[in-house]
Amino acid sequence: MSTKSNKKPRFKYGSQASRDALSGYLYVAPFFILFLTFGIFPIFYNLYISLFSWKLFGAEPEFIGLQNYVWLLTDDPTFIKAVVNTFSIWIISTLPQLFIALVLAYVLNQGFVKMKDMFRMAIFMPFITSILAVTIIFNSLFSRDFGLINFILGTAGLDWKIDRFLSHIAIATMVNWRWVGYNTIIYMAGLQTIGKDLYEAATIDGANKIQQFFYITIPQLRPIILFTIIMSSIGGMSLFIEPLVFLDLRGGSHNQGLTMFLYLYETAFGTKYNVGYSAAISWVMFVIVVMFALLNWFITTKVIKD
Amino acid sequence: MKNRTGRLISYIFLIISSLVSIFPFYWMFAISTNTTAAANKFPPKVIPGDQFFTNVQNAWENADFITALFNTLIVAGTITISQLFFCSLAAFALARLEFKGRKLIFLLIVSTMLLPPASPIPLYMIVSKFDWINSLYAVIIPFLVGAFGVFLMKQFIESSIHPELIESAKMDGARNFQTYYRIVLPILKPGLATLAIITFMGVWNDFVWPSIVLKEQSVQTLQLAVRGLQNAYNRDTALIVTGAFITTLPLLAIFIPFSRQFIAGLAEGSVKG
Amino acid sequence: MKRFGLILMSLMLLFSFALAACATDEGGEGTTDEGNGTTTPEPDDEVIELTFQNIPNTGLDVLVEQYQSENPNIKINYQEAEFADHHNGLVTAMAAGSGIPDIAFVEIGFLETFKGQQNNFTNLYDLGAKDATGDYLDWKIKQAENADGSFLFGLPTDIGPMAMAYRTDIFEQAGLPTDPDEVSALITDWEKFVEVGKTVLEKTGKPMTDSGGTIYDTMVGQLTEVYFDENNELLLETNAGVKEAYDRATAMVEAGITAKVGQWSPEWNAGINDGGFATLMAPAWMMNYMKSSAPDGAGNWNIAQMPVASGNWGGSFLTIPAASEHPQAAYDFIEWLLSVDNQYEIFKATGNFPSTPGIYDKPEIQDWTDEYFQGAPVGQIYAEAAEKVVPVYFGPDHQTVNTAVKDAINNVENNDADPQAEWDAAIERVNRELR
């Protein structure tokens, strides 16, 4: 009843509706003040400089229109490589990460599990470390000649940095290790919203735990899974510190671990100082990230529904 | 019988996951107690040595950790508290107040999350116009509110605070801010804890932007101190890992007691309102 | 409503706390502009504040204190940052036009890039540097000048003259001479180097040197012209010397006489420590590095002359950006800081090799031997090498090209790529990146 009347707010001074409107605008104002000051200008400035051949140390900036975009999209194998790398690392980090987190959350949510607090804390702990620290540790674990991972796998002398796919695995491992706990916690929060009666009904119908996981848990968690997928695609698309510290500015000698964001950064700051081209990369990246997020939205909604 | 194997598998899975999660911490500790020469052996040395205090002393001499810790706490603390307040307030407005254009406003805010990570040069220009180079302002002010925080808080409010609850508060004559403060905030606690941790960690971990605007020793943050070690002794593994280890310790000290609450709150307390 | 006030107040309190903390930090800031006065009142006789941005471990910081106490009207605001962060920060500051220091450390590789923007720097010749340049090595001053020699970007700090470090234990095992003079006489050029390398590999199973990349760097360092001519035309495809260096380096890789370990990696440190390879091309500053990161190598290394000729690796300059409001005061400071006497002090404290040949005859350098290198007369060797270096023109895009070629060698070495295909790919990449 009251909800309905609120849908058509009448703007009378002192009325609930006008007070709501006033508070509403006031409460969202801080975000927009900061965003207008620090967010908008860089974006449009970037759009502007992407139209120039502009190297920080070299000849004067020269207006070249869309030439940077033309080069980027039609004649830059390095960029293609960076895009492929980014998606490759994203897939081998996100899929296992979310699946393991989902299973962990499901198991931890079972009544019989003892010492839940301890398990949860252990699994969550990696999230506390800094990316720099994570990369430093895994750099040592993945070391070619002295790495523990080579020792355990019995692959002494295997170089995790030089081979394209192996370097992706190493980087994805760092991402996975750091983020599984976080997602587990998010999923556990979501599991609380699923009514016990659903599981009870399923148990009466003779569904086992694994069937319940696939037919009740996953569909019920859909909005939260969607949220984690969107978040991890934004994170994954702007991945950059891990390959920077694990490999180098170019993501290794044949760009084996170069990601889109790292390429952007390297173009502006490596040895080239080509800020015009770097700005063009940031805009193409933007389009890719938006399309990818929408695609994820679409797929997740479709797939989990059925 | 079948139930039992299921439980056994569950436990094995949990134990392995926990071990994998914890092991790198142990590894960090083990290396920071050895010399670099001892760490660079095959098979790798997994047993702690006796070099811990030498390494710590060495790291201590090469970086000003106390100042860096103080700076990091100021930056991370201010941003976290500010984000909790402003993001939850904005989210409350967007989720539970009726006003013209709120859907559009929310869409705008969310779409800024997708904006391209630009080169730092334009932001640097703005910050330098304010004369904030080598000042903690440069790493605090631009990050006081964030789109992600607003988005997350809105999710939490929508899933855990029923509109009727707000309505009944209004019926009782509560002002909007009172409703926010008395009804929304208490129920939102688990959500706030989540945002707090995410924000705090994010700020604590950032080093790209700070490295560009904070060049003076007196304003450096912890990550910059560790980054400095990486150069000072080139690739002295033990020293660098020790630096990473001692900057992780305070976080562990803060979060082990706190995260227990946070996790329990998230898993049990929420949503029932 | 009361509670609202409470929250607001606590929030403001928190803010003012943060702001106060920021303000105290700002007190020491000296970005050369107005706006001090707010926190610390200055004494009446004019105090000039200079900002000096440096990288760690140069040994210059100690002298800063001394200069301040001897010159009470100068206050130096000293800042340090990690090597890459420092240079990137400088680039950003210059691009944005603010936050630029009065004195900036610039490494030779970056200086070449910065030369493209002459108007960002002060010409030290306008500040009286003509009187000082005679103290420094000619080739080092040439590195810091523009093409026609009318503009001086910076004064030299240390240099990196090269010699060849070698493992006497491995040489002995391979039945080769171990005396420095004999080794110098044995390995006079790169062909001999490869020959000896093959003997070492055959007799001991150990590779001759660390990586193809290091050898390439060294060989290129001995050319007089590298990737660009003085008009900045790209020579990559036409300079036979570069191609020859590339072919030799990749041939060594394919002959298996390189250890395939990258510079600065843990594997590289361990190789120096445990004798993983027989030789290492070592600039003067490498000695300290070897001692600290490979202590067990002590007594197994010795030092001989480089094949063909000497060379230089690294070394840096102090520059005065054009934005400085006190260029003369800044110049006076760096001229003092990098004077012959002070370079000598820095050398004694850190081992960084001075760029002032006037002190090469001093006993501390001539009699300087090193136990790590079996008592070799390292001071004499490096002083001699320093004076033999010939100036090379690099050009602003040197690093971009060099990175591409080194990457190609690395791919041949570690990823079994085909040398010719990698060379072609590198040329294509360079042409794309320079457009």
User: Looking at residue B151, what is its pLDDT?
Assistant: 85
| Judgement on whether residues A197 and A278 belong to the same structural domain of the protein | yes
- For the cut 80, the answer to whether the pLDDT of residue A229 exceeds it is yes
Q: For chain B, give the percent of residues with pLDDT over 70.
A: 89
User: Looking at residue C76, what is its pLDDT?
Assistant: 92
The answer to whether the CB atoms of B14 and A104 lie below 8 A apart is yes
How close is the nearest chain B Cα to the Cα of A290, in Å? 6
Scored b (16 or more CB within 10 A) or e, C236-257 reads beebeebeebbebbbebbeeeb
User: Looking at residue A1, what is its pLDDT?
Assistant: 37
Average confidence (pLDDT) over A207-228: 83
User: Looking at residue B184, what is its pLDDT?
Assistant: 87
The span from the CA of C157 to the CA of A263, in Å, is 33
Q: Which domain holds residue A23?
A: 2-49
Average confidence (pLDDT) over A186-212: 82
DSSP collapsed to 3 states, chain C:
CHHHHHHHHHHHHHHHHHHHHHHHHHHCCCCCCCCCCCCCCCCCCCCEEEEEEECCCCCCHHHHHHHHHHCCCEEEEEEECCHHHHHHHHHHHHHHCCCCCCEEEEEHHHHHHHHHHHHHECCHHHHCHHHCHHHCCHHHHHHHECCCCCCECEEEEEEEEEEEEEEHHHHHHCCCCCCHHHHHHHCCCHHHHHHHHHHHHHHHCCCCECCHHHHHHHHHCCCCECCECCCCCECCCCCHHHHHHHHHHHHHHHCCCECCCCCCCHHHHHHHHHCCCCEEEEECCHHHHHHHHCHHHCCCEEEECCCCCCCEEEEEEEECECCCCCHHHHHHHHHHHCCHHHHHHHHHHHCCEECCHHHCCCHHHHCCCEHHHCCECHHHHHHHHHHHCCCCECCCCHHHHHHHHHHHHHHHHHHCCCHHHHHHHHHHHHHHHCC
Pick from C25, C99, C293: CB nearest B36: C293
Give yes or no for A47 touching B (CB within 8 A).
no
The span from the CA of C105 to the CA of B253, in Å, is 39
Residues of C in contact with B133 (CB under 8 A): 31, 93, 98-99
| Judgement on whether residues A94 and A6 belong to the same structural domain of the protein | no
Rounding to the nearest 10 degrees, give the CA dihedral for residues B253, B257, B258, B264. 150
Q: Which chains touch C (3 or more CB pairs under 8 A)?
A: A, B
Tokens of B36: 């670099």
Residues of A in contact with B259 (CB under 8 A): 121, 124, 128
Burial of B69 by CB count in 10 Å (0-12 exposed, 13-18 middle, 19+ buried)? Answer: middle
Q: Is residue A56 part of a domain?
A: no
Q: Which residues contact B209 (CB under 8 A, 6 or more apart)?
A: B120, B123, B139
Q: Are C314 and C156 in contact (CB under 8 A)?
A: no
**Nearest chain C residue (CA) to A142:** C266
Tokens of C382: 């490096």
- Mean confidence (pLDDT) of chain B: 82
| Judgement on whether residues A200 and A296 belong to the same structural domain of the protein | yes
Q: Is residue A275 part of a domain?
A: yes
- Domains of chain C (ranges, CATH numbers): 49-159+315-365 (3.40.190.10), 161-312+373-433 (3.40.190.10)
How close is the nearest chain C Cα to the Cα of B106, in Å? 25
User: Looking at residue A304, what is its pLDDT?
Assistant: 64
DSSP at B133: T
Q: Measured between alpha carbons, how far is residue C167 from residues B50, C176, C256, C319 in Å? A: 31, 11, 18, 39
Q: Is residue A64 part of a domain?
A: no
User: Looking at residue C156, what is its pLDDT?
Assistant: 94
Give yes or no for A188 touching B (CB within 8 A).
yes
Q: Is residue A58 part of a domain?
A: no
DSSP class per residue in B157-190: HHHHS-HHHHHHHHHTT--HHHIIIIIIHHHHHH
The answer to whether the CB atoms of C266 and B235 lie below 8 A apart is yes
Local confidence band at A12 (pLDDT 50, 70, 90 cut-offs): low
Q: Are A34 and A25 in contact (CB under 8 A)?
A: no
Residues of A in contact with C91 (CB under 8 A): 56-57, 269, 273
Residues of A in contact with B90 (CB under 8 A): 27-28, 30-31
Tokens of C258: 């390189």
pLDDT digits (tens, 9 = 90+) for B199-250: 888 888 888 888 888 877 788 899 888 887 776 555 677 888 898 888 888 8
Write out residues in chain C with pLDDT < 50, as ranges.
1-44
| Judgement on whether residues A22 and A100 belong to the same structural domain of the protein | no
Domain spans, chain B:
73-269
| Judgement on whether residues A18 and A130 belong to the same structural domain of the protein | no
Give yes or no for A112 touching B (CB within 8 A).
yes
Q: For chain A, give the percent of residues with pLDDT over 90.
A: 23
User: Looking at residue C320, what is its pLDDT?
Assistant: 96
Which of A6-10, A50-54, C318-322, C384-388 is the most confident on average? C318-322
Substitution target in B8, B115, B177 with the highest count of A β-carbons within 10 Å is B115
| Judgement on whether residues A282 and A136 belong to the same structural domain of the protein | yes
Q: Measured between alpha carbons, how far is residue C184 from residues A171, C4, C201, C347, C383 in Å? A: 45, 82, 19, 26, 16
The answer to whether the CB atoms of B211 and C293 lie below 8 A apart is no
How close is the nearest chain A Cα to the Cα of B22, in Å? 6
Give yes or no for A265 touching B (CB within 8 A).
yes
Q: Are B79 and C11 in contact (CB under 8 A)?
A: no
Strands C301-304 and C48-54: unpaired
Cβ contacts below 8 Å, chain A against chain B, sum to: 262
Range with lowest mean pLDDT among A244-248, B156-160, C130-134, C149-153: B156-160
- For the cut 80, the answer to whether the pLDDT of residue B93 exceeds it is yes
| Judgement on whether residues A163 and A291 belong to the same structural domain of the protein | yes
Pick from A7, A24, A123: CB nearest B18: A123
**Nearest chain B residue (CA) to C57:** B232
Tokens of A42: 């860089």
Residues of A in contact with C95 (CB under 8 A): 56, 275
The answer to whether the CB atoms of A145 and C267 lie below 8 A apart is yes
The span from the CA of A208 to the CA of A195, in Å, is 17
The span from the CA of A211 to the CA of A201, in Å, is 13
How close is the nearest chain C Cα to the Cα of A254, in Å? 7
Residues of A in contact with B257 (CB under 8 A): none
| Judgement on whether residues A236 and A170 belong to the same structural domain of the protein | yes
Q: Is residue A107 part of a domain?
A: yes
User: Looking at residue A306, what is its pLDDT?
Assistant: 54
The span from the CA of A257 to the CA of A81, in Å, is 9
| Judgement on whether residues A247 and A209 belong to the same structural domain of the protein | yes
Range with lowest mean pLDDT among A53-67, A244-258, B163-177, C36-50: C36-50
Substitution target in A57, A132, A162, A274 with the highest count of C β-carbons within 10 Å is A57
Residue numbers of B between 7 and 36 with CB closer than 8 Å to A: 7, 10-11, 13-14, 17-18, 20-22, 24-25, 27-28, 31
Strands C48-54 and C74-80: parallel
pTM for the predicted model, two decimal places: 0.82
Give yes or no for A1 touching B (CB within 8 A).
no
**Nearest chain A residue (CA) to C114:** A57
How close is the nearest chain B Cα to the Cα of C82, in Å? 5
| Judgement on whether residues A128 and A17 belong to the same structural domain of the protein | no
Record: fold of B73-269: MetI-like fold (1.10.3720)
- Mean confidence (pLDDT) of chain A: 84
Q: How many structural domains comprise chain A?
A: 2
Q: Is residue A63 part of a domain?
A: no
| Judgement on whether residues A45 and A95 belong to the same structural domain of the protein | no
The span from the CA of C301 to the CA of C334, in Å, is 36
Strands C154-167 and C301-304: antiparallel
User: Looking at residue A92, what is its pLDDT?
Assistant: 94
Q: Which chains touch B (3 or more CB pairs under 8 A)?
A: A, C
User: Looking at residue C33, what is its pLDDT?
Assistant: 39
- For the cut 50, the answer to whether the pLDDT of residue A9 exceeds it is no
| Judgement on whether residues A16 and A125 belong to the same structural domain of the protein | no
Q: Tokens 């205090």 belong to which residue? A: B53
How close is the nearest chain B Cα to the Cα of C131, in Å? 33
Q: Is residue A132 part of a domain?
A: yes
What is the domain-level CATH number for residue A179? 1.10.3720.10
